[in-house]
Structure 1
Amino acid sequence: MRAVFVDANDSLAAVTEKLIRPNDPKVVVNRNASVTSEQLPDVLDGAEIAIIDHTHLPVEIAAQCRGLKHVVFLGTGARSYMNPEALAERGIAVHIIKGYGDTAVAECAIALMWSAAKGFARMDREMRAGNWLRSNGIELTGKTIGLIGFGGIAAEAARIAAGSGMKVLAWNRTPKTHSGVEFVSLEKLLAESHVVSLHLLLNDDTKNFLSAERIAVMRPGVILINTARGAVVDEGAMIEALRSGHIGHAGLDVFVTEPLPADHVLTTLPNVTLSAHSAFRTPEASDNLINAALDHCRRIVTTGH
């Protein structure tokens, strides 16, 4: 049984080649991060396992990939790139990887929060342009952070925020408990939190989850952090709230359209800090990610599923 990493960038290719063991299943690393969907049948060349980082796999293309039985997606957001249920109907199982970057993403969310609170990004832009802009910051000690969705990333964010002297509220779709975290209704969280950080998977139920109506409930001047997926927020409603100041600042690592177009309105708003969907990009997270992908391949070869 053979696996092909179809769209490895140089960094992940190097990590993969470093972590492959002598007795592992054969893994071919395709060092072409810009491979197209239409090229996948040729790139896979009959391989049973496709390791995919970011390339779209439409069902009609999968049907042309002879021998393909398993897709190992590098992350949790496979639905943004393929339809797992439709692929399953064709006998192709989609495997995702959870938890590999919990600490990395949580640290990014907290870093965006601090940057938003202190205005670092705007001051940096202005100083580079020759303007001595001094802005008033916000002290976060004693403030409340609300975490929407509570998995491994949110648990790490809660740990860091609590260590910074913040009160931590959380809401989750299913009941949970966690030391030092108060689980409350969504309405209470939105109304009381000085910082709201999103940690939801994107699916049909969570698309536009943070709607105009829910944004209106948020505390005026709130800091909004999104390291989840761009589409969990109604982007238009968020932009209007940023313009009015109802959302005081947004720290965004994810967007509805990626890469973010150069002329996108978010690039023109002074109260937005932008990050290029890079929350998970640390050497530690990359090692965790590729090790987990290789473990999937090892299990598939050993057990057949």
Structure 2
Amino acid sequence: MRGVFIDANDSLAEIFERQRQAGDPPVRVHLNPNITPEQWPEILDGAEIGIVDHTALPTDVARQCKGLKHVVFLGTGARSYMNPEELAELGITVHLIKGYGDTAVAEAAIALMWASARGLAQMDREMRAGNWLRDDGMQLTGKTLGLIGFGGIAAEVARIASGSGMKVIAWNRSPKSHPGVTFVNLDELLATSHVVSLHLLLNDETRGFLSRERIAQMRPGVILVNTARAAVVDEAAMIEALRSGHFRHAGLDVFNIEPLPADHVLTSIPNVTLSAHSAFRTPEASENLIHAAWEHCRRLAGG
């Protein structure tokens, strides 16, 4: 069984080759992170396993990938790039990698929260333009952080936030418990949280989860942090909440269109801090990610 890492960047390619072991299945690294979806069939060249970082795999393109049986997606958000159910009908199984970057993403969420509370990005922009912008920030000690969705990343966010003196509450679609975290119903979380951080996987049930109606329920002056998937939020309603001041600020790492176009409305709203879908990007997380990808390949090749 052959494999191809179809869209490797320099960093991931180096880690991938360093982790290669004697006896591993043959996996070729295609060193180009900027391929188009239409290039899948040519790059795979009949291989049964495709390892992919961020390139979309439309179902009609997958039909042209003769021999493809397994897609190893480097992360958990495959639904943003392909339709796993439609691929399954073609005999192609999508494999996810969970937990590799829980701490990395959690630290990024915390960083976006603090930057949003103190307006750091806006002050930085203004000072570079020669303006001495000073404004009152939000002190987070003693404030309530509401976590929507509670998996490994949210647990790490809770650990860090609790250590900084915040009260942490959470809502999850299935019952959970966690030390130091109070689980509440969604209405209570939306109404009482000074900061809301999203940690939902994207699927048919969570698409548009933070709707216009739920945004209206949120506490005036709330900070929204999203390191999950952009599509769990009604973008138009979020933009209105930012412009009206209902949202104090938003710290966003994920977007409906990536890369975010330079003329996108979010780039012109002052009370937004943007990061380029990079919450998971640390050397430690990348090592974990590639190790898991190799483990998938070894398991699949071994039958």
For residues 101-152 of structure 1, give each alpha carbon's deviation from its aligned partner in whole angstroms, at most 9, with x where no partner exists: 1000000000000001111111100110011111111111111000000000
Q: Does 1:298 align with 2:298?
A: yes
Q: Which amino acid aligns with 2:3?
A: A
> Quick check: 76-85 or 54-63, which moved more?
54-63
Paired residues for 1:7-156 under 5 Å? 7-156=7-156
1:6 match: secondary structure: strand
Q: Which amino acid aligns with 2:225?
A: I
2:28 match: secondary structure: strand
> Quick check: 93-102 or 36-45, which moved more?
36-45
> Quick check: 74-83 or 157-166, which moved more?
74-83
Q: Which amino acid aligns with 2:181?
A: V
Shift of 1:10: 1.1
* Equivalent position of 1:233 in the other structure: 233
> In 2, distance between residues paired with 1:181 and 1:96?
28
> Quick check: 139-148 or 257-266, which moved more?
257-266
For residues 2-29 of structure 1, give each alpha carbon's deviation from its aligned partner in whole angstroms, at most 9, with x where no partner exists: 1100011111111111111122111100
2:225 match: secondary structure: strand
> In 1, distance between residues paired with 2:264 and 2:38?
29
Shift of 1:52: 0.8
> In 1, distance between residues paired with 2:107 and 2:249?
18
Shift of 1:283: 0.4
Paired residues for 1:143-222 under 5 Å? 143-222=143-222
* Equivalent position of 1:261 in the other structure: 261
2:105 match: secondary structure: helix
> In 1, distance between residues paired with 2:197 and 2:80?
21
> In 2, distance between residues paired with 1:120 and 1:55?
32
Shift of 1:291: 0.5
* Equivalent position of 1:248 in the other structure: 248
1:5 match: secondary structure: strand
Shift of 1:60: 2.1
Percent identical among aligned pairs is 75
> In 2, distance between residues paired with 1:296 and 1:265?
40
1:296 match: secondary structure: helix
2:124 match: secondary structure: helix
> In 2, distance between residues paired with 1:274 and 1:61?
32
> In 1, distance between residues paired with 2:86 and 2:117?
44
1:298 match: secondary structure: helix
Task: Give RMSD over aligned pairs.
Answer: 0.8
1:145 match: secondary structure: strand
Q: Which amino acid aligns with 2:291?
A: N
> Quick check: 33-42 or 280-289, which moved more?
33-42
Q: Which amino acid aligns with 1:47?
A: A
Where in structure 1 are there 5+ consecutive unaligned residues? none
> In 2, distance between residues paired with 1:300 and 1:29?
18
> In 2, distance between residues paired with 1:88 and 1:220?
44
For residues 73-98 of structure 1, give each alpha carbon's deviation from its aligned partner in whole angstroms, at most 9, with x where no partner exists: 11111111111111111111110111
Shift of 1:39: 1.4
Q: Which amino acid aligns with 1:31?
A: L
Q: Which amino acid aligns with 1:232?
A: V
For residues 28-75 of structure 1, give each alpha carbon's deviation from its aligned partner in whole angstroms, at most 9, with x where no partner exists: 000011112221111111111000111111222222212111110111
Where in structure 2 are there 5+ consecutive unaligned residues? none
For residues 235-286 of structure 1, give each alpha carbon's deviation from its aligned partner in whole angstroms, at most 9, with x where no partner exists: 1101111111110000000111111111111111111101010000100010
* Equivalent position of 1:5 in the other structure: 5
2:21 match: secondary structure: coil
Runs of 4+ in structure 1 over 4 Å off: none
